Structure 1
């Protein structure tokens, strides 16, 4: 049935509207026909009930010798009446299936309730419609018999049109939802791919199918993915080559500084070279994040945090860990370790130490990293995650820093489907809050690399 689908999105939308209108049209015609049929059945029942009640009243008020002629005078092609001292319809042959019809006739003409109305089905004659035969007993014991075309034995449903219209509307809504989903599935697929690629995922070619407009968009998106991926790869490779080439003159400068007689100048030059090497290394780590392909696996977050805290303590920093002994999540361990190392180092540099706390709950794992430093102004709390952004207070040789530590940390946490934020603590200091999904932690970025750009 695919070949019946229009090639364009406009065509498919028109087809959906046309299909809905056709369903509504045929449904309306069906409702109209059913309403007319029900009205005819109701009118037939009213006709039979009224004529039967009228015949019983008229014949019951006449002398016996006039009743036969009067019954013949009351007869019509649709209602034949007769009077006799015995019932024309055998009461024993009264069909139980006609009980609902009898109840409806009595409801439409209450006078029939006291006449011991009996009904039976007469066999069809010469292929004609079946007829009902009825008998009513008058007060003197005589019987008025009648025959009429058989109404529909099934009861006419109350509010049938409303119920049918509701069911039809529900069917139209359901069909419209399915058709709209069919039309918009390629668009949702394109939006999902764009979101993943925007977060740093490797290019995943979209299938170029669906409406013509969607095919053109998918083709353009695939070409854009390829161009951007080539651009990033070329830039990363070029910068990696430049940084590699920079190491040689840095080492030559370091060697020459060693021959200086001025110890103060030598230490200043060594500090500058160390800062240059740190900046080159941080920049490479930031750029490598876009091309690394570490796969997520089950890892112990508590062990990672405990190891980082112990390593910092061994270097003389005041770093403590509090939390569970084990917290297994789906992680990219190396990337996660680099992110939390950056956060802890940031707290040690600018806050004099760090208190690392892990809250292991059933849904999310939350990590708090607190320090006793000066904190960050509220206006700068989001800007510190931007690449190469440093606060004025940190621009000194004592702290150094390239302005990429928090940026890399946010990229890695975002690639795990988590969030990282900073806030000042009451009484001084900074609190960094990291939340990681416990189940399917990397599901949101399963195809993303560890260095997604925040």
Structure 2
């Protein structure tokens, strides 16, 4: 049985969805035909009852106008296979009034309003319709007809039944389609988590053929990327050690120089080189530090960064609440905002940091008084090692990685970062961090 079902169930996603839709359409079509058939049968029975009522009304008028000696013969002549009519001088056995035959009785009353007495009901073992009408002289016309085979229903029963059936089919189709596409949603979730730096988790390679192939390719991609990141981490550790060692040797040798001016120049070049190496390594290291998010006081981080910058003589001010708790990676968040504050001080002369605590997110604004950034270069400044030569050059100590690292850290927390030129001059950087933090971590300072 199961093999037969698997043979009927298509292997492709398109085939499964098509089969589900066709099954739903077929079910609603068959249901519509059934409701139409019931409606036609009901209308036919209504017409037959109408015909019986009209024939009985005609028989009553005809027999009532004839002499008594010919009334029996006339009643027999008015009979037919589907309606037996008889005349009786005395009262016949009156059939009880049945609820299901009330429409027929009401129609007879409408067609023969002057009838003195009327009985309609089921009679005999065959449950035939029987009854009698009393004439003005006290005699009776008895009649019998086959019982109608119809269902009593309200005028809107067909519409209600069809609507309920359509709603049921829609709900069933939605559930089936959700079941079919569940592997796709699972794949999308895994891809999003892996893109934010989560450890690779092999996806079950099941479901429709397209999903199976996508899961297999995704698992292979995860393995390759994870292996690449591991190899890169090991290489970065070696490069970090190998680069720091000669820099320290050069710094030590420069200390033995008699020329103080040359010594200061060499130390400055070595400081710049070391800063560039550290920034580049931090950028390349990316998410490899494995920092886990935890409840963090963002206000405390920003206040500490601003106080440290002010202690170094920078024009930095912080405005915001005393405490704002978010799930963050503290080191990554500190790196990101340190880069933004450092850029504002270097290229804008000052940094005004504002923290706003909204119900859904925390919003941090960093303003400076510099020349701003051309609109055409707003997106380009986030690219690695990109500097605007007019205001952001090596003389200021920048490496072109500060905004890149900041954006990666912010987006790793599920947030956004945007740049805008202030109307009065200067640059405005707006960072929005949602309450539900991401799963990736940022890089280091640049």
CA contact (8 A) 2:319 2:353 kept: yes
Cα separation, partners in 2 of 1:61 and 1:359, compared to 1, 3 Å: farther
- The correspondence for 1:38, drawn from 42, 45, 49, is 42
- Give, in whole Å, the separation in 2 of the partners of 1:83 and 1:108: 17
Which residue does 1:90 correspond to in 2?
94
- The correspondence for 1:224, drawn from 196, 221, 225, is 221
Deviates more, 1:222-231 or 1:47-56: 47-56
- Give, in whole Å, the separation in 2 of the partners of 1:293 and 1:139: 105
- Give, in whole Å, the separation in 1 of the partners of 2:273 and 2:137: 125
Which residue does 1:237 correspond to in 2?
234
Deviations 1:196-226 (A, max 9, x none): 3334443221111112332222112101111
1:106-145 correspondence to structure 2 within 5 Å: 106-107=106-107, 110-115=110-115, 117-124=118-125, 128=126, 130-145=127-142
TM-score (norm 2): 0.88
TM-score (norm 1): 0.87
Which residue does 2:71 correspond to in 1?
67
Deviations 1:109-149 (A, max 9, x none): 8314553543222242xxx3x11222334455543322222
1:257-296 correspondence to structure 2 within 5 Å: 257-296=254-293
SS in 2 for 1:393: coil
Gaps of 5+ in 2: none
Give aligned pairs, total: 439
1:353-364 correspondence to structure 2 within 5 Å: 353-364=350-361
Cα separation, partners in 2 of 1:157 and 1:311, compared to 1, 3 Å: same
Deviates more, 1:26-35 or 1:223-232: 26-35
Deviations 1:90-111 (A, max 9, x none): 37x333x23xx32355359831
CA contact (8 A) 1:50 1:109 kept: no
1:435-454 correspondence to structure 2 within 5 Å: 435-438=432-435, 441-442=436-437, 445-446=438-439, 448-450=440-442
CA contact (8 A) 1:203 1:229 kept: yes
Displacement of 1:22: 4.4
- Give, in whole Å, the separation in 2 of the partners of 1:153 and 1:212: 50
- Give, in whole Å, the separation in 2 of the partners of 1:46 and 1:404: 91
Gaps of 5+ in 1: none
1:187 counterpart = 2:184: yes
- Give, in whole Å, the separation in 2 of the partners of 1:433 and 1:107: 81
CA contact (8 A) 2:50 2:107 kept: no
Displacement of 1:152: 4.6
SS in 2 for 1:208: coil
1:419 counterpart = 2:423: no
Instruction: State the 4+ residue runs in structure 1 displaced beyond 6 angstroms.
Output: none
1:213 counterpart = 2:210: yes
Displacement of 1:25: 5.3
Q: Supply the RMSD in Å over aligned alpha carbons.
A: 2.8
- Give, in whole Å, the separation in 1 of the partners of 2:175 and 2:443: 39
1:53 counterpart = 2:57: yes
Which residue does 1:325 correspond to in 2?
322
